Amino acid sequence: MAKAATDAQQKAARLGDVAGAQLKSQVANQKGKVASQLVSMSDVLDDLTEQLRREQRTAIADYPETAAHQLRSLSEQLEQADLEQLLTNARRVARERPALFLGGAFAVGVLGARLMKGSASAGQMADSQSRRAESAIRSETAWQQMPGSGLPESELGRTVR
């Protein structure tokens, strides 16, 4: 009985290790995607800053420029931090600046929804293209199986007697 309990504990520990490794892998993958999105957003803000400066609206051009720098900095921190550091930082920000934390949580939610929508759209597009290709193949196969479909083009218009 004690051996069975020990075996169960060992299996549970191995399962926990596997689950932890998978979680770390998924977090690393998602961190990369979020960091990439943050850089893209900062690029858009840089473009906006340049446009505002060309239009001689320098007073408000500083705001998107500052936001772009902060997004790039956040992206770099995100790429370099491990899961434990991210959780520790999130807890600290939630305690010290709850409004900022809630705003950040909202932004992460919107970004996550955008990522999910983008990946779902890509999957739907691939499915649609696959269905069209299968339909085209079925149509071609049906055409080839029709009587007279192997005739040269010059004889297709003639009546078969």
- Per-residue pLDDT band for 130 (boundaries 50, 70, 90) equals low
Distance CA 139, CA 108 (A): 46
56/27 same-domain check: yes
DSSP 159: P
pLDDT for 62 beyond 70: yes
pLDDT of residue 139: 59
- Mean pLDDT throughout 83-103? 87
Distance CA 64, CA 75 (A): 16
pLDDT for 39 beyond 60: yes
- Mean pLDDT throughout 14-34? 79
Query: Is 150 a member of any domain?
Result: no
44/117 same-domain check: no
pLDDT of residue 161: 46
pLDDT for 47 beyond 90: yes
22/77 same-domain check: yes
76/105 same-domain check: no
40/50 same-domain check: yes
Give the number of other Cβ atoms within 10 Å of residue 83's Cβ: 13
pLDDT for 149 beyond 80: no
The model's pTM is 0.49
Q: Tally the domains of the chain.
A: 2
DSSP 149: T
Q: What share of the chain is helix, strand, coil (3-state, %, to 5)?
A: 90, 0, 10
DSSP 160: P
Query: Is 62 a member of any domain?
Result: yes
Structural domain including 90 reads 10-96
Distance CA 128, CA 150 (A): 30
